Structures are given as structure tokens and as C-alpha cells.
Structure 1
Amino acid sequence: MSDNLIDGSELDRWDPAFIPRALKLAAPLINRWFRVEVRGLQAIPPAGGVLLVSNHSGGALTPDPLVFGPAFYKTFGYDRPLYILAHYGVFFTPLRDYLGRLGAVHANPENAARALRSGAVVLVYPGGDYDAYRPTLSQNVIDFNGRTGYVRIAIETGVPIVPVVSIGAQETQLFLSRGDRLAKRLGLHRIRLDILPITIGLPFGMTMFFPANFPLPTKIVNQALDPIDVIARFGKNPDVAEVDAHVRSVMQHALHRLARQRRFPVLG
């Protein structure tokens, strides 16, 4: 099947019978390793399409979806689809079929709009790998790299935006630099790479993308915030930049609050 598939059949891969079996195996390991805490899921409207917008952390082996997904299904059950907009690169792995059954779909406007109009919940990480590889010194900064497509999708489909803030995964290793300037000099944009990150972790020490270091057992906390009704708050013709600035401001305030609650790196 094409890696650029954007028709409804990609959404149809979501398998509510497979998901509880997979989570039964994976969720206990994830929860114990990262001492997961997911708060505020009651803020998510109980029915209808919802766009969840989250910061992204942890580099190549980001635990973000594995932290949030089990908590979502525990709260809402397995009859409500949760689709995760994923970078095309993850579909080149041997796990691509399993990821599709778990709700991972190519991150493009068509998939997002179809899923939201069907009444599903869609989780998007607007900052993508740029956000997931933000330097450790900026680990508590919300940075989507100017990407505002999520706002346009929310306006187009008329669904609320629910910000979700995550903290802890950026402590799974030491992130020295995104390497975006180096990537630009090397012309990596030709293969859709805008960064060439430099990280330090275990067991490989200093790496640039690969091999991926194994994540440290840092405590990860997710916090779902109050829904934002874009039309009600910003009018019938909302300014995309204004909405984006508001969403990031709300998330930044919440991330600062979570950061103040952490006593020690990794330990939480």
C-alpha cells in the first residue's frame, strides 16, 4: 500500500479488537518504566470530533503516544477511535501494520479532516521532530516551529482544540542541538530532513539521529487542558496566527506549572 495513502481506507486500519490486546502487553511496561501520570482527561468532550494538540518530546524513541493512548482508552473505552498523526518515517519500520491498527495515520490534512468529521479524536504533535529534539536547555518551551496547520483543520471541521501538555520525556537523554543549521548546509531538506540532532544517552553515547539511545526511566506527566472553541472565542473568521498564539500561550503556562512541580530531573 502506498506510503502517501490518504483515502478513507487508512483510517479503516484502526482495529478496536487489536488495541486492548496490544495495550495489555505494552501499557504495564510503559507505565512502570516512566511512572506515567495522565491528568485532566475529563476535559476532553465525551463525544464528537476533537483535536488534541500536544508538545512532542523524547527524540526518535518518543514515548508520547504510548503514554497517552492507554490512558485515553481506559477513560473512553475502545469504541471511540483515537488517531495519531504520525511522521511518514515511522511507516518505513516493520511495525507499520501494527501502528495502523493502533490508529497511527500519515500526518496530512486529508487524514485529519476525515477522522474529525467521522467523530473521532485526533492527536497531533505540530512541532514534529523539530519539537521532539529541542535542546535540553529549552526543554520546557512550547515550540511548533511556526506550524499552524492544526488551527486550519480545527476551523475547517468545526471541532474544539484540547491542548495536552507533556513533561518528562525530554529528560530521557541529553539533547545538545537540533542541528538544523548543519542539516541546511548539507542540503538534507532534499530528503525531507530539516534537522540533524546531536544527543547523548545510553548505551551509544553521543549520536546524530541513529543509533537511537534507550530512554532513561524518567517520570512522564501528561495534562489535558480545557477545550478551546475556536469560533466561539475568535469569531466566524478567526485569524490563524492569533489562535495559534493563544493555544501555545495556554500550553506554555501549563508547562511552566508542571515544571515547577518537578523536584528533580528524571526522578520527577
Structure 2
Amino acid sequence: MGDNVVAKQLPGELAKWDPVFTRRVMGRMWPFMRLYFRAEVRNLEVFPPSGGALLVCNHSGGMLTPDVPVFGPAFYARFGYDRPLYTLAHYGIFIAPWGPLLPRLGVVHASPEAATAALRSGAVVLVFPGGDYDAYRPTLQQNKIDFDGRTGYARTAIETGVPIVPMVSIGAQETQFFLTRGTELAYRIGLPRIRAEIMPLTVGLPFGFTVFFPPNLPLPSKIVMEVLDPIDPKDFGKNPDIDEVDAHVRRVMQRALDRLAARRRFPVLG
């Protein structure tokens, strides 16, 4: 539906979401993602059937993360294109040549203001609290939920009164070998001044050993994303403690990720 009421009521980038364009892109993307990554999105039936919701997921796969391309088509296949899905993203991905097209797909610059406006309009917002810090976690820690102490998502859910829907993803961290985030190196060369706090070292194909650039192409690792039961911040009392909510969300996610990891027989193959 090109005449989307929700999007028209939203400010700035949020209003650029184009359901017709999104449908076209998702329709072409999903067959490839399903074939290449043998992708599965499980338990969407537990997702709130309507209204605003804050979807919280671990981030995986480095620069060419497949998280959104895998989840987006599955979400729209179940709920249709009258229900916007907004993804909060680091400003760096908008530098790419296709950056101006991303808001039309619901991918917008990450900010508390954008999340709050979208959630209060009744839209779904997908956040990766760990950001690039999480997406470049070392292979030896690939099944660890680590948001680097970031709890803003919990504050946003509490303030807007929407449920938090945890989701875990496994497989994308096997698309190449992640040696280190390079946090110390990043600080030594002053990258935090340009909002970059890591200098990751990875090994993959076709470029072998890389330091951030050029990005290696992802191996065809089997990717599974699993939606978990919604968490209502109101269950934590009249004035929920942000740290308590965050700790509970991460604990639930870690248990689910451990379960998926235990069932995974081989790297890449799944």
C-alpha cells in the first residue's frame, strides 16, 4: 500500500518508508537469502499481532551482516506491508552508494528520538543494541550476548510502554573468522573521534586477512533467527529499573542462543 498512513504521520526519515518499494526489494531478496544461507526465521507466531513493539536482537556477520535481509522478508510475509518495520542503523551504512535508498526500506539513523516516534505511532522497531561491537565479536565468543553495556533500548521501551520482543540469531558469525574487534588499536589511532570504536581483524574470502576493509564476502553459513516471548516492562513494577530489565532481556537471549548453539552440529553447515 503506497498510501501508508502510519509513515505519513512520522517525521523525517521515518516518513520515507515506502511499502511498495519495500515489497519489491524483499520479494527479490528472500529467495536468494533462503537459498544461500538456508535461512530460517522461527516463532514469529509469538510476536504481538498489532501495535508498537521493540524487537531486540544480537548483531552478527560484520560489515555485510545478513540479519535484516533475513528477518525483513519473513516479518512482512506474516504481517503484510501495512505494518512498518523500522531498523535503527549506524550512520556508517548510509555512506554507501545505496545509502539514500535505505530510509525507503525503513532503515534509519539510530537515535532515541527516531525509536520513540516510530513506537508511539504503532510501528515495530528493530534494534541491535550491541551495534558493530557485537557484529564483530570474536569467533571464540560468537555465541555470547554482549551489548557492551548499552541499555538505551530498555529505557525507550519503558518510556513508550511497548513490549520488548527478544530475538536471537545464530550462524552469521560463521560467515568469516573474526579474530578481534581491535578496540585498543582503534583508540590508538583516534577512530572514536569519528564515532568508530573498533578496528576489526578478520579472515575470509576472497581477500583473506583484512583490517575492516575490504569486506570479505560471507560464507554460506546456515542462519537461524528465533523470536522469543515478548517481555512487558510493566512486569518490573511501576517504575521499572532499566538495568534490571536489560539484565533480564540478555539472560533470556543468552539461554536461547545457548540452546541453538547446542543443537548446531557443524560450523557453517549448521
| Equivalent residue, structure 2, for 1:214 | 217
Give the letter aligned to residue 73 of structure 2.
P
Give the letter aligned to residue 250 of structure 2.
R
Superposition pairs of residues 13-28 of structure 1, within 5 angstroms: 13-28=16-31
Residues 25-79 of structure 1, C-alpha deviations (whole Å, 9 max, x = no match): 1111111100001001111101110000000000000000000000000010111
Pairwise CA distance, 1:215? 0.1
Alpha-carbon separation, structure 1, partners of 2:60 and 2:124: 21
Alpha-carbon separation, structure 1, partners of 2:28 and 2:71: 15
Residues 237-261 of structure 1, C-alpha deviations (whole Å, 9 max, x = no match): 1111111000000000000000011
Contact 2:182/2:201 (<8 A) preserved: yes
State whether structure 2 residue 269 is matched by structure 1 residue 247.
Answer: no
State whether structure 2 residue 166 is matched by structure 1 residue 148.
Answer: no
Structure 1 length normalisation: TM-score? Answer: 0.96
Which of 115, 118, 127 aligns to 1:115? It is 118
| Equivalent residue, structure 2, for 1:267 | 269
| Equivalent residue, structure 2, for 1:88 | 91
Residues 99-148 of structure 1, C-alpha deviations (whole Å, 9 max, x = no match): 11110011000000000000000000000000000000000000000000
Alpha-carbon separation, structure 2, partners of 1:125 and 1:72: 16
- Give % identity: 68
**Which secondary structure state, in structure 2, belongs to the residue aligned with residue 263 of structure 1?**
coil
Superposition pairs of residues 99-178 of structure 1, within 5 angstroms: 99-178=102-181
Contact 2:27/2:73 (<8 A) preserved: no
| Equivalent residue, structure 1, for 2:5 | none
Structure 2 length normalisation: TM-score? Answer: 0.95
Alpha-carbon separation, structure 2, partners of 1:26 and 1:243: 35
**Structure 1 residue ranges (4+ consecutive) displaced by more than 3 angstroms after TM superposition:** none
Give me the CA root mean square deviation: 0.8
State whether structure 2 residue 14 is matched by structure 1 residue 11.
Answer: yes
Residues 148-193 of structure 1, C-alpha deviations (whole Å, 9 max, x = no match): 0000000110000000000000000000000001111222111111
| Equivalent residue, structure 2, for 1:79 | 82
Query: Bigger CA drift: 213-222 or 36-45?
Result: 36-45
Which of 204, 217, 231 aligns to 1:201? It is 204
- Identify unmatched segments of 5+ residues in structure 2: 1-9
Alpha-carbon separation, structure 2, partners of 1:174 and 1:37: 22
- Identify unmatched segments of 5+ residues in structure 1: 1-6
Number of residue pairs the alignment of both structures matches: 261
